[in-house]
Amino acid sequence: MINPLNTERLIIFPLHYGLIKCLLAHKTDEVEKLGFHTLNRWPEEDTLTFLPAVLKRLEESDYFTGFETWMIVKKDDLSVIGDAGFKCLPDSKGATEIGYGIIEAERQKGYAFEAVSALVKWAFSQNNVLTIYADCLKENYASIKTLQKCSFKKTYSDNSSIYWRLNRFSVSNPLFGKILLLYNSLFNKRTEYNNFTQ
């Protein structure tokens, strides 16, 4: 069983199977039973778009692993102000990807940073997570600031988005993290050279 995460101002609550089924039926009864309030502001359309995929993953795993979606709830009034979570289970290299969203009325207040920080800490406490990826639109300055504050490093960008990475060891041991990044960089260059010469 995965317990809720608590930060200074937030409760980050696992969005389990029953809650998702309820939300996809455009009902919030199950959320209200927990003592939380949506105030008709959440879930937003973006959340409803990806919830079917989350539901399918829960059906396949048969339980909440923590690498799905979590509700972000304010402690002061128990209102749901957004959601965050992981887009996939960690792969064979220990990599996963994080995503998050805060309702418009509650943005620019540091809630995204608080939620992402807590989920990153939780993920890196799992033995099978070494790297967390993220992406955001180039014009989403608030998200860029959030990821930078959470120590994510920019890896590359395209015409519309910026892509980020956070390594476990760069959080627990910054010096080792730099060595690891240098090694990965040299290894990738060597691999590219070998592929070119073969």
List, for residues 60-82, the tens digit of each pLDDT value: 888 899 999 999 999 999 999 99
What is the C-alpha to C-alpha distance for residues 16 and 71, in angstroms, rounded to an integer? 10
Output helix, strand, coil percentages for the chain, rounded to the nearest 5. 45, 25, 30
List, for residues 113-143, the tens digit of each pLDDT value: 999 999 999 999 999 999 999 999 999 999 9
What is the C-alpha to C-alpha distance for residues 51 and 69, in angstroms, rounded to an integer? 8
Report whether pLDDT(36) > 60. Answer: yes
Give the pLDDT band of residue 56 (cuts 50, 70, 90): very high
Domain spans, the chain? 5-169
pTM value? Answer: 0.85
Give me the CATH topology for the region 5-169.
Answer: Aminopeptidase (3.40.630)
Measured CA distances, 160 to 103, 137, 157, 163, 189 (Å): 22, 6, 8, 10, 26
